[in-house]
Structure 1
Amino acid sequence: MSAFTVARNPVAFRSLTTNVSRGRSSVAAKAGPNEIVGETAFWTSKSGQAMRGTAAEYEAAKEAGDTYLASTATGVLPEWAAAAGADSTLKYSLAEAFAFKTPEGANFLASGPELMNGRAAMMGFVAAAGAEIATGQTISQQFAEAPFGVLLTFSMIIAGSLFSYTANMEAPAAGPFTKEKELLNGRAAMVGMGIMLAYETVKGSALL
């Protein structure tokens, strides 16, 4: 997470619109016709709101974890915004992403394995429950019918999660879908999947 470009000296703006687009997030930062004096930073908050303030205000927002993307405006790039355009200066190795411990400074609330297992469990639980209701097949029967599709889906989830985790990139909250709720839903899905598998192993029939 970093700031955008900035003006150290008074700069007159006629009209400036900066569009930032990363993934599914698109934010516009605007500077009016007024004169800007001193260091002024432009950034995007976690909620996707275009922000403008001083270098100190940007640093305070960053410390509070309320920054997402940097933008670019004409002007001189100060030292405190040297990493403008990046989500984070911290990157992680595959070993750190697979470790059962959240790396220091990570933009994620959970370790890599918990995050990946949670995402896979959410997808698997919804798909398995839907198929059980529609066909009456157990999870093992569903897997036996389409093992390649199941493995490919989970491989893509893991690969996508690894890409964002090693780069320490975090998607902004989309309405009610926050990282806290993703973690909670992922844990619930893992428990739900475990219950379904245990029941079907003992009973030999679909739970739903």
Structure 2
Amino acid sequence: MAGCSSGESADQAAGSATQPAASASSAESARLRAALLPVPKGMRIAYGPELGAYGSLKSTQQGLEAMRQAKLERPECAGAAQLDATEPEVARAPAAVIAFSAARGSITQAVMSMPSASLPAPLPPQCSLYKATVGGSEVTYRTQTLTMPTKGQESRAYLTTASGGDKHAQIGTVIMRREHLIMSMLVVGEKVKPAGMFELARLADQNLARVTR
């Protein structure tokens, strides 16, 4: 068969051809995993690390499903200032995700590799306050842009307060870029302190700096 040396099967030849690509993929996965945060004090790993194309990961799929089920008075605010997992370039980007939890809340971190990496547009002004129907209940979302010391080449941080009925929660969001890596982090709890978010961002940026040297 053309392209196969004597005594080498087509399957063996195909396997040989894919080894460099597989090695490159394995190396990138190891780099992304190394960029993830260690377990924060007092927390445990809820799931992960999970590796693969960003759009195929469990946390990504859960997030997309939650957005599909919610009814927003401002649909353009669904996923605003976040990476859009429905975009092909984002969906197929190699990524690593880990989630930590404790009685006080949770942290979910994703790191992905994108050659043409750039952060999403900042939060549109109309998305700083809006309402949505989630699971049959009306929830009001109020988001403020935080002044966080720049991490990596560029970074942004937001703090969202979600309230509805007798329920109240805060969601801290950090997103940053260093070289071709983009890191996003969600910190959820009854009360999320910006100082704590900034410290997590500092530690995350240290990891990104180490693996991009």
TM (normalized to structure 1)? 0.22
Q: Which structure's relative contact order is higher, taking Cα pairs within 8 Å and 6+ residues apart?
A: 1
Structure ranking higher in helix proportion: 1
Q: TM-score, normalised by structure 2?
A: 0.22
Instruction: Say which structure is richer in strand.
Output: 2
| Greater Rg by CA | 1
